[in-house]
Amino acid sequence: MSLLDAARQVRENAYAPYSKFKVGAALRTRAGTIFQGVNVENVAYPEGTCAEAGAIAAMIAAGETEIAEVAVIADSPSPVPPCGGCRQKIAEFAAQDVKVTLGTTDGDLLETTVGALLPGRFDMSHMDKV
């Protein structure tokens, strides 16, 4: 299964009763394992979870820590990039040149990289004096 197909498939399981905006994400680790996540809304809106964060949590729970590729899909007129918080979460586990594919349910695709999504990212090197 392709990474985009994994994101497309899991998107159907998203819990979005308030916004009706379902998002699916899939990531492949350096070891080749695919992890999936969906957005999970909550009536207490800030308590929801993004699809990308869910996929990262599944990866960490399985004991892996290195993202090799990411795919995100949503039913929108144009490809939807991860929110700022998820960009930072992805950057924690991925190199700047890691490919990120953003897609729509209609098949529109945009390929980018972690570095292009989050230029000037904050990372461990900024904490060298701590």
Give the tens place of pLDDT for each residue, 111-129.
999 999 999 888 888 888 7
Binding site per annotation, positions? 39-45, 50, 83, 86
> Residue 11: in which H helix or E strand, if any?
helix 3-11
Q: pTM of the predicted model, to two decimals?
A: 0.94
pLDDT attached to residue 130:
62
Would you say 8 and 24 are in contact if contact means Cβ atoms under 8 Å apart?
yes
Q: To 5 degrees, how large is the angle CA 16–CA 50–CA 100?
A: 120
52 annotated active-site: yes
Domains of the chain and any CATH numbers: 3-127 (3.40.140.10)
pLDDT attached to residue 42:
96
- Copy the structure tokens of residue 116: 């292009």
DSSP 50-102: -HHHHHHHHHHHTT---EEEEEEEESSSSPPPPPHHHHHHHHHHEEEEEEEEE
- Residue stretches of the chain with pLDDT short of 50: none
pLDDT attached to residue 126:
82
pLDDT attached to residue 128:
82
Q: Which of 12, 47, 52, 69 is catalytic?
A: 52
Binding site per annotation, positions for substrate? 39-45
